[in-house]
């Protein structure tokens, strides 16, 4: 009687499927916990690193299992293929981040006005201080992000900007509403990234202008050394929304900006919103409405 040798199953096939399947929920759970505020950014990166490592090992083990099946005819091709598919799915975000890192410039702070930019809100949660503008790199990468001028009053422009911020779901912070249609105005807001929930700061400045009013926007990341183009996209989104609202309401669009207004044209009373320790503060009459307001909590 002829004895048949047992066919050994490729062990790497089973591991590939297990690692690939597990890596996806690890990444999703880590992102969900960070977005809900249950873990900090350092913990998020640890969880994501573990998930991506599992996914990468699943892909490597899958190729090893496929090679073993090809050489010895061992069973396990199905598990190897599943592991490869799940591993590649889990690695897709990492591949996207890598591509964005290469494609977009290494910037974390974007402003329409690079000579006298709107000041960022002070925040105890900021992982790095503001003021990381790189004018030369920004001008090369985003030549379209410049101050915008509109033939409407500051109050009308303020209302349009505020509505766009609410439509985007950003958290409205301190704001200076114009009492008259030629008063300066400012808005601070917090915007979260879609997937991981990183919080970025947005400051909007509206000044009276010979045309009507001038709009400046600054968006800056609180964490990291690369924004992957998020701040530029956010500014473009806000500008596009303002264009759309003003067109629908008044049938007008922006007037092309030719030169950046000098820093001296920014009223000092506006700077009171920024609470800067090194900035001179001009007293503002107490009876003037629309001064620094913060939305009621709860």
CATH of the domain at 120: 3.30.310.80
8 — pLDDT class (breaks 50, 70, 90): low
pLDDT tens per residue across span 136-152: 999 999 999 999 999 99
Instruction: For residue 142, give its domain range.
Output: 109-274
Domain boundary among 49, 75, 103: 103
79 and 178 part of one domain: no
Specify whether 35 is located in the same domain as 90: yes
pLDDT at 194 over 90: no
Task: Name, in order, each residue with C-beta under 8 angstroms of 204's C-beta and a sequence gap of 6 or more.
Answer: 118, 161, 165, 186, 187, 188, 189, 215, 216, 217, 238
Domain count, the chain: 2
Choose between 246 and 257: higher pLDDT: 246
| Residue 293 DSSP symbol | B
Give the residue, 125 or 245, on which the prediction is more confident.
245
Structure pTM?
0.75
Q: Looking at the structure, do residues 90 and 113 belong to the same domain, yes or no? A: no
d(CA 228, CA 107): 8
* Claim to verify: residue 97 and residue 157 sit in the same structural domain: no
Q: What is the pLDDT of residues 204-238, one digit of tens each?
A: 999 998 889 999 999 999 888 889 999 999 999 99
On whether both 254 and 166 belong to a single domain, the answer is: yes
């Amino acid at each position: 009687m002829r004895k048949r040798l047992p066919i050994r199953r490729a062990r790497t096939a089973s591991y590939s499927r297990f690692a690939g399947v597990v890596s996806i929920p690890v990444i999703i759970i880590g992102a969900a916990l960070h977005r809900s505020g249950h873990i900090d950014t350092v913990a998020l990166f640890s969880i994501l690193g573990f998930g991506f490592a599992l996914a990468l090992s699943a892909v490597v083990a899958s190729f090893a299992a496929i090679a073993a099946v090809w050489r010895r005819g061992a069973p396990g091709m199905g598990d190897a293929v599943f592991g490869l598919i799940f591993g590649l799915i889990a690695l897709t975000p990492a591949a996207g981040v890598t591509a964005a890192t290469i494609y977009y410039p290494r910037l974390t702070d974007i402003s329409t006005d690079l000579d006298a930019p709107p000041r960022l809100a002070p925040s105890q949660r900021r992982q790095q201080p503001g003021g990381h503008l790189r004018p030369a790199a920004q001008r090369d990468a985003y030549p379209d992000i410049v101050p915008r001028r509109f033939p409407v009053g500051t109050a009308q422009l303020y209302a349009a900007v505020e509505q766009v911020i609410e439509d985007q779901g950003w958290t409205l912070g301190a704001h200076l509403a114009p009492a008259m249609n030629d008063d300066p105005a400012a808005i601070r807001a917090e915007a979260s990234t879609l997937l991981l929930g990183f919080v970025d700061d947005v400051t909007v400045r509206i000044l009276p202008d010979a045309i009507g009013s001038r709009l400046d926007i600054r968006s800056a990341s609180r964490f990291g050394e690369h924004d992957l183009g998020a701040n530029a996209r956010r500014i473009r989104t806000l500008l596009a929304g303002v264009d759309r609202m003003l067109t629908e309401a008044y049938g007008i669009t922006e007037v092309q900006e030719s030169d950046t207004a000098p820093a001296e044209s920014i009223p000092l009373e506006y700077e009171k919103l920024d609470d800067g320790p090194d900035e001179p503060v001009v007293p503002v009459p107490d009876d003037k409405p629309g001064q620094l307001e913060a939305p009621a909590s709860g």
